[in-house]
Amino acid sequence: AQRVTQPEKLLSVFKGAPVELKCNYSYSGSPELFWYVQYSRQRLQLLLRHISRESIKGFTADLNKGETSFHLKKPFAQEEDSAMYYCALSPRGYGQNFVFGPGTRLSVLP
């Protein structure tokens, strides 16, 4: 069965500091990985997905199949980055459910 873990429930950094939100997964096949973000009182929204290999709002994430990780990184955190971040896995295939990690609350301090 597929599983996503995010070891940190809460991560606090100062503005301008680098940030890394950890995500590990277990899945026997070749999954698609996503990061979703939920700002205060807003809906879950897609931040980025591994196959697009793009940087959104300064965030990047690299899929490491050897370590089964998909860590989210940003070199210089901003206060507006404070939010809940969820790593999610989708098994390749149609109609299959996404599995979410427990989430990490990022708090960027002034």
Partner 1 sequence: EPEVTQTPSHQVTQMGQEVILRCVPISNHLYFYWYRQILGQKVEFLVSFYNNEISEKSEIFDDQFSVERPDGSNFTLKIRSTKLEDSAMYFCASNRDGGNSPLHFGNGTRLTVT
Under 8 Å CB-to-CB from 93, ≥6 apart: which residues?
Answer: none
How near is the Cβ of 107 to partner 1 at its closest, in Å?
Answer: 16
Q: How many residues bind partner 1 (CB under 8 A)?
A: 25
Quick one: 15 or 22, whose CB is closer to partner 1?
Answer: 22
Rounded CA separation 44/86 (Å): 9
Among 15, 32, 50, 69, binds partner 1 (CB under 8 A): 32
Stretch that binds partner 1, among 11-19, 42-50, 55-63, 66-74 (CB under 8 A): 42-50
Rounded CA separation 81/74 (Å): 10
Report the candidate in 87, 85, 110, 83 with the shortest Cα–Cα distance to residue 98: 87
How near is the Cβ of 17 to partner 1 at its closest, in Å?
Answer: 26
Among 46, 54, 80, 107, binds partner 1 (CB under 8 A): 46
In this structure, are residues 101 and 88 in contact, taking their beta carbons and an 8 Å threshold?
yes
Rounded CA separation 77/90 (Å): 28
**Position 103 contacts partner 1 (CB under 8 A):** yes
- Residues of this chain that interact with partner 1 (CB under 8 A) are 32, 34, 36, 42-46, 49, 86, 88, 90-103
